[in-house]
Each structure stands twice: as structure tokens, then as C-alpha cells.
Amino acid sequence: MAPRAYRFLIVWLVLLLTVWVLQPYLTGLWWAVSQPRSVTPRGSLAEAEKTAIAIFRQASPSVVHVYARGGPPNPFVRSAGQLQTGSGVVWDAAGDIVTNNHVIAGGREFGVRLTDGEFVAARLIGASPQHDLAVLRLVRPRAALRPLAIGRSSDLQVGQSVFAIGNPYGLDQSLTDGIVSALHRRLAVSPRVEISDLIQTDAPINPGNSGGPLLDSAGRMIGVNTAILSESGASAGIGFAIPIDTVNRVVPSLISTGTVPTPGIGIVSADPAVAAQIGVAGIIIMRVVPGSPAEQAGLRGVDLASGTVGDIIVAVNGQPVGSMAQLGTALDAVGIGHTATLTVERDGVRRQVTVGVVDVAGL
């Protein structure tokens, strides 16, 4: 290659190297914006966004932060020492607040923080562990209260949009959304208590959301968020809410009497572990309460002298039952004052027995 060509090549390499070295400085000099940039108009919000915004604005003033002091540790509520917190809903203008029983269980002192920041002392009006619902009443709130509009849960459909408002991890007024994932779910909260007919949703529900409302796309409360299904305690896309039809039946009773009638037939069952050990698929009647519908129907408990098993309840109105929780759910569906048809097994022979359903608190 000729010397002139070499010189030309070297000059170009030097120029390229110079540009490469100076490029960051030249870019900053020519393209850096030293003044506020102009805002690009975004246009209209999407319809889904407008719906979510409207629902939050409409419902959030009715969602409160619930505090209970002195309760036991609970993985489904936000707790710090002996102070546990959750969410609640303004039910009426009298200051009644609906929340979960597990949020306030064991508490001795209660308080509610309203959306305007006012902290109001509250007292427990009533609780129903079998429905995981409780009612607190505010003591002399200064702010005007806005009861949340309610809808129906009987006509819910899998796939429809839902929204949850609550106070997860102590953070006030959080909104999440999702769909109705399933209906008529069951969740055992103790060996003898099973909440039935729950709404399953994938709207994120975390500790602290308990007691807050589940809303439909019209902004009506269709359920009370109650629990999540997660080994870690954080939302895993499976949350549950107590249907509003249940809430609307239980809460008035709690406000009026402090309790909810407990349907039963007057039996004491054997430990489920005993039934499992002897291979029995059903509820072994350990004892029949004197004067109860069970005694009147001729049901028989275990003969303690001989250890002979008496009657085993295997179904209610044709639906199999294997625990007292399932029996309670079935009798709750029948209702106090009505009769249920039990399928009972004794000495290997099954028969149908009609028995009345009563409030067992009166037995």
C-alpha cells in the first residue's frame, strides 16, 4: 500500500478514536435537556381504569382500620406484639363496623381508625366464630359515617370482576382487583368449625385485608374478605370471602342479640381420630343430649359399659358428612325450625331418620 494511503488510513483512525472518546461529552452537550420537558397528553383512561377509580372513590370512605389489643397470635391478621389489626366495613349510621371474628378474637380493647384519620374507641357487640364475623360499635365518632352499599352473592358468576379494599400489612386503603375464581368453597378454621359457601377470588388478599369488603363492578359489597390459602402467609392468588347473603343474615342477629343461633340436633360426637382408627366414614354419636331432637328421633350414642358403637351419621338430606363441621354446615343450610333427613348406620344397617333442627344454645 502506498505511503499516501497509509497516511489517509491513520488520519481516519485518529478521527474515529477522537469521536469515540468525545462521544459521551458531545451527546451530553447536544442532546441533554436542561429545562422541564413538555408533557405528552395521555388521552382518555381505559374503561377498566375508570371503573376501578370510581369504585375506590365510592367505597373507600366506608372501609376502616380495625385494632384489637390482647388477642392471640394469628397468621391472617397484621400484628405487633399483642396489637393485631385488620380491616372493617361501616355497616350502618349507628356506627356498627363489620369485620372478621379472627381479627378481634381474644381482644379486650378495640379501636377503629376512619378514613379521615380519626381514631375511635369501639366495643364488641357480637361475634360468630362459625361464620368468622364480628360487629364492633364505635363510641362517639365525630365524623359522619357512610354505610357501604351491598349487593347479592346468590347470583355471582365465576369470571366476573371483583375488587378488594383493605389495609394489608398495615397500609391504609389499598385496592386490588381480580375475578371470582370459584363459588361454594369450604374452609376449615378449626376441627369443629368449617365456613361454607365461600367466594374464591384471585384478587390479592394479604394479612390485614381480613374484614375488608369484596366488591363487584357496580361498587356493591358482595362479600367480606376472610382468609388466604398460602404456606408463606402472603397472597398466592387464592383468597376467600364470606358471601354477602350470609353476612346480611348473620350481622342483624349479632347487632340485635350479640349471638347467632347455632343449628343442631343435640348430639356430642366422638373424636374424629377415633372414627378414623376404626375405619368409620361418618360421625360417631358419642352421646345424645336428653330432651333433644336427636333423642326424640331415637338416635343412640356409644354404650360406655360395653364400648359398643351406636349410631353413625353418614349423610344429611342425601349429602355425605364426615365431620361435625360438615354436619353443622348441612344443618345451617336446613335452618332452625325445619327438619332434616339423616342417613344413619347402626350395626352395619343404614336407615333414614327425620330429625328437627333447633338452636343448640337452648339445650
List pLDDT tens digits, range 17-46. 777 877 777 777 777 777 888 889 988 999
Least reliable range by pLDDT among 47-56, 121-130, 199-208, 291-300 = 199-208
**Residue 126 shares a structural domain with residue 174:** no
**What pLDDT digit, counting tens, does each position of 243-290 carry?**
999 999 999 999 999 998 889 999 988 877 777 777 778 899 999 999
Residues 293, 311, single domain; the answer is: yes
Residue 172 bears catalytic tag: no
Same domain flag for 235 and 296: no
State how far the Cα of 127 lies from the Cα of 32, in Å rounded to an integer: 64
Residues 274 and 200 in one domain: no
Residues 250 and 284 both lie in one domain: no
Has residue 45 been placed in a domain? no
Q: Tell me the pLDDT tens digit for each residue of 94-143.
A: 999 999 999 999 898 999 999 999 999 999 999 998 889 999 999 999 98
Q: How far apart are the first and last CA of the chain?
A: 113
If you average pLDDT over every residue of the chain, what do you get?
86
State the pLDDT at residue 354. Answer: 95
| Co-location of 302 and 349 in the same domain | yes
Residues 285 and 241 in one domain: no
Q: What is the pLDDT of residue 357?
A: 95
Max mean pLDDT among 138-152, 170-184, 266-280, 294-308 falls in 138-152
Q: 303 with 331, same domain?
A: yes
User: What's the pLDDT at 76?
Assistant: 46
d(CA 54, CA 217): 10
Distance CA 319, CA 209 (A): 33
Q: How far, CA to CA in Å, does 222 sit from each of 61, 157, 243, 255?
A: 17, 12, 6, 20
Provide the greatest CA pair distance for the chain: 121
Number of domains in the chain: 3
Whether residues 279 and 326 share a domain: the answer is: yes
SS3 292: coil
Could you tell me if residue 2 is inside a domain? no
d(Cα 281, Cα 156) in Å, to the nearest integer?
A: 33
* Known catalytic membership, residue 102: yes
pLDDT at 301 over 80: yes
Residues 233 and 271 in one domain: no
Q: 25 lies in a domain?
A: no
Question: Where is the domain boundary, 257, 274, 299?
Answer: 257
Per the CB < 8 A criterion, the answer to whether 145 and 95 are in contact is: yes
Which residue would you say has higher pLDDT here, 227 or 215? 215
In terms of phi and psi (left: phi > 0; alpha: psi -120 to 50; beta: otherwise), the region of 344 is beta
pLDDT at 72: 55
In the block, cell 344397617 appears at 349
Name the active-site residue from 87, 102, 174, 311.
102
For residue 12, the model assigns a pLDDT of 78
DSSP line for 48-103: HHHHHHHHHHHHGGGEEEEEEESPPP-TTSEEETTEEEEEEEE-STT-EEEE-HHH
Domain final residue, candidates 257, 278, 307: 257
Q: What is the CATH number of the domain that holds 66?
A: 2.40.10.10
Residue 253 lies in a domain: yes
Would 151 be classed as within a structural domain? no
Q: Are 31 and 50 in contact (CB under 8 A)?
A: no
Percentage above 90 pLDDT, the chain: 53
Which residue among 65, 79, 132, 216 is the active-site one?
Answer: 132
Percent of the chain with pLDDT over 70: 91
For residue 295, being part of any structural domain is answered with yes
Name the band, by pLDDT with cuts 50, 70 and 90, for residue 219.
Answer: very high
Compute the average pLDDT of residues 137-150.
Answer: 94
In eight-state DSSP terms, residue 138 is E
- Pick the more confident residue, 327 or 214: 214
C-alpha cell at 67: 385494632
Entry field: residues in the chain: 363
Q: What is the pLDDT of residue 94?
A: 94
Residue 54 located in a structural domain: no
Range of the domain at 225: 161-257
Q: Is residue 20 part of a domain?
A: no
Q: What is the CATH number of the domain that holds 349?
A: 2.30.42.10
45-101 per-position pLDDT tens digit: 999 999 999 999 999 999 999 999 875 555 445 555 578 889 999 999 999 999 999
Q: Can you give the pLDDT at residue 2?
A: 65
Give pLDDT, residue 101: 93
Q: Are residues 130 and 168 in the same domain?
A: no
Which is catalytic among the residues 174, 210, 235, 292?
210
Do 229 and 213 reside in the same domain of the chain? Answer: yes
Is 210 among the catalytic positions? yes
